Amino acid sequence: MSHFEIERKFLVLNEDWRALATSAIPMRQGYLNNEKRCSVRVRISGDEAHLNIKGATIGAKRLEFEYPIPLEQASIILDSLSAGPLIEKVRYLIPQGHLIWEIDVFSGDNAGLVVAEIELSDADEAFDIPTWIGEEVTHDTRYYNTRLSREPYSTWNTPA
């Protein structure tokens, strides 16, 4: 099992993706550190919770480890130990062949931001880009959730 996540991130141009979504998962997540080497986060996704440790490498490929934790403990951690505002969003899933687009519609301090992600098995894997996909922001750290928890979209002087 690989401990690397290979993910590309894009802005979303319009609402055309909504008709293709097969599920919607409400999420709350918070970060427990502000380290430069890695992020440590707790995420509640629907009725599941996970502790996630992700390398701080910028780009599509990053070291990642994820572990399930009890939902009640995750809620306590988010409410008591998270730094900065929580990330609140609904993740919509859109299958495309063997891949799945994840569309994150943010709320709270990041309301108005909509980002699409696609996880790949290889950094050079080819995939089709739907017409509702806009600019790639994989290498723009402003769009990383860890950064959005410190510098929410609502505070950006010139939203992208």
Catalytic residue positions? Answer: 31
Closest CA to 131 of 7, 8, 17, 9: 17
Q: How far apart are CA 94 and CA 17, in angstroms?
A: 8
Residues 6+ apart with CB under 8 A from 71: 44, 47, 48, 49
CA 88 to chain centre: 10
Query: What six digits make up the tokens of 113?
Result: 């931001």
Burial class (CB in 10 A: 0-12, 13-18, 19+), 93: middle
Q: How far apart are CA 33 and CA 104, in angstroms?
A: 23
For the chain, the residue count is: 160
